[in-house]
Chains A and B, each alone.
Chain A
């Protein structure tokens, strides 16, 4: 059981998040950027990564996002989808009538596929997802791996060198901390085929580059966690391949909603793999950090939480409210709900708030000596005169995000210096304390975490 120091990698979803990353990255352990973001704004992304590197010295990763070009099992319809609609958007028709749109591939993914070449580009040309059968020969696998890996290793340098004004910076930015092998989502109906393809891609990638560590992403349906045979097969493949690192991404796996069996299975994966390679959770939270006691190297998440992610994002929802993170619960809740819990928790004023809820610099500044100012985390407004629904103000969302990021640093450092038994005990105590409030049994996941962290495997 190789206990490790927990790392938190911040994932940048869009350039609107750069302020948070610029201000906090020094205290985190790295940054991950999706290759689609790099393709849609190469100059801005490359400059930002250079700036961040110079300011923080933290490593970066480029997620090649190859899974986006593969098939997806739609749990709503129960069917495998290959239409790639999730990487399309409604776009204006050039020269068309006002409001006339056409549904086309997003520019970022189109450019990414073109950079990777076939079978990615040919799949988009055909309007159909990449299939495992597109990798019929080892040569195709090798070529795909070479282009995806080279993209990650060279793209930023090329962005700088292509522009005469920035060419002199081309060698200033070191390469990524690791290069990801191409990876695809293991959808349930063809799991064996996708597992096999991912293994071939991993094997080819690890053979191709020795100068930079090769990492592999296991991207699969949550069911795989509960399937001992398939889990054993994937773990066996990884141990045979021996990449420097593996990033686990069980689609829809949410630490707070997961069953004890799923949480235990995640621990099992970590314990099996960590003696041979670094293990990360691609979208994880506190529980993943606590698994560092069993070998998990770290977890990635966004600046506004993003501690779990479905392979295909739900499109068309309104912007969610950024809720307030309660460190004791390692979860976010609405400001109204937390406020309603204060009386049961004995929080009667700022001093109680700082000792029982949070004393991070953001909370100290906002709450100060006015207890009511806590409401600023949930402030709402009508964003336009035409708005029918009140929404959280950008300032309130910003407060919640910074508060979360600072708390995450505190949590990571706390996990590092605490014994696993103490972490488990704290979870149980918090579940008990908060069970008396309106949150009630809503914090029971903490007991499950404690059980899984305390169990003798």
Chain B
């Protein structure tokens, strides 16, 4: 199996992280999902809603650049109760977790096996704006029923 020079794993593009992360989110109850959900000029890699917990999650996929991922994640806090960065396991080691923790952003390691492991729990935060959150939930529901 070829390994990416950037990540040292089989993951060489962000989209490869999507499937394992989406499966992982589903297992956690976030069944209503949308890939690349528009949020202003950004696109959230994975946005999902858990009816059971009435909670939303935004997940930013990144191969390597966790600082850039954090910047985007902080914006996504406006519309999601929980925000995670998902990276290949090898890249996770380089993340300064305290910085994520301070901002309430969680971290998911995507394993070579195709599984995922939550290495840092996201915290609910005060930045979420119901106006955005509810708009996104409505959008998800609309997409699901279409």
Binding site for B on A (CB under 8 A): 321, 334-337, 339-340, 343, 372, 375, 378, 380, 389-390, 392, 438
Contact = CB atoms under 8 A, between A and B. Distances in A.
B40 A380 contact: yes
Contacts, number: 39
Interface in B78-127: 78, 126-127
B78 A340 contact: yes
Nearest to A377: B40
B8 interface: no
A336 B78 contact: yes
Contacts of B71: 438
B13 interface: no
Nearest to B37: A390
> Secondary structure at chain A's binding surface: helix, strand, loop or mixed?
helix
Contact of B132 (A321, A337, A375, A390): A375
Contacts of B42: 336
Interface of B: 38-43, 71, 74-75, 77-78, 126-127, 129, 131-132
Given A340-B74, A340-B75, A340-B78, A372 B40 contact: no
B40 A334 contact: yes
B74 A438 contact: yes
A335 B38 CA distance: 14
Contact of A343 (B40, B75, B126): B126
Given A389-B43, A390-B43, 12 more contacts: A321-B41, A334-B41, A336-B78, A340-B74, A340-B77, A340-B78, A343-B127, A375-B132, A380-B38, A390-B38, A438-B71, A438-B74
A339 B42 CA distance: 14
27 contacts: A321-B41, A334-B75, A335-B40, A336-B41, A336-B42, A336-B75, A336-B78, A337-B75, A339-B78, A339-B129, A340-B75, A340-B77, A340-B127, A343-B126, A343-B127, A372-B129, A375-B132, A378-B40, A380-B40, A380-B41, A389-B43, A390-B38, A390-B43, A392-B41, A438-B71, A438-B74, A438-B75
Contacts of A390: 38, 43
Most-contacted residue by chain B among A321, A392, A438 (CB, 10 A)? A438
Interface centre among B74, B77, B126, B131 (most CB of A within 10 A): B131
Nearest to B130: A372
Given A335-B40, A378-B41, A380-B41, A372 B131 contact: yes
Closest 8 CB pairs of A and B: A390-B38, A372-B131, A336-B40, A378-B40, A321-B41, A336-B75, A340-B75, A380-B38
Contacts of A334: 40-41, 75
A336 B39 contact: yes
Contacts of A378: 40-41
